[in-house]
Amino acid sequence: MEMRKVGPPALGEQVADRLLDLLATDDAFRALFVQNAKAAMEVAGYVHADESVAHPAFCYVVTNLAAKEDIARDRAKLKAALNSIQDFVCPRDMMGA
């Protein structure tokens, strides 16, 4: 029996790096990410090439984003999560307390 992945694809190294850079430094981008993750991901360079699979933005619904310092500190862990098999939840370390 073939196993099918349900969630969206991994972001890729460059997009994950840019996304984390902006989340760790740019207040306007952080506000955009909370309001419209899809638009924010496009700003970070994500191109959604296959409309038959879920857009990763649907997994990144965050109402309380982690502090910039926390994102910078946990960057390696977050990058690994953004580039691994995705499900439909935001990486826990991206959310604030």
Q: What is the pLDDT of residues 40-95, one digit of tens each?
A: 999 999 988 877 777 777 777 788 899 999 999 999 998 988 877 555 455 555 55
The DSSP 8-state label assigned to residue 84 in this structure reads S
Express each pLDDT in 9-25 by its tens digit: 678 889 999 999 999 99
Does pLDDT of 31 surpass 70? Answer: yes
Tally the C-alpha atoms within 13 A of residue 13's C-alpha that lie toward its C-beta: 0
| Element holding 35 (H helix, E strand) | helix 27-35
More confident residue, 82 or 97: 82
Q: How far, CA to CA in Å, does 28 sit from each of 4, 5, 51, 76?
A: 37, 33, 28, 23
pLDDT at 84: 73
Q: How far apart are CA 46 and CA 17, in angstroms?
A: 11
Q: Is the pTM higher than 0.95?
A: no
pLDDT at 83: 79
pLDDT-derived band at 7 (thresholds 50, 70, 90) equals: low
pLDDT-derived band at 8 (thresholds 50, 70, 90) equals: low
Phi, psi (deg, nearest 5) at residue 54 = -65, 145
Closest CA to 22 of 62, 75, 59, 87: 75
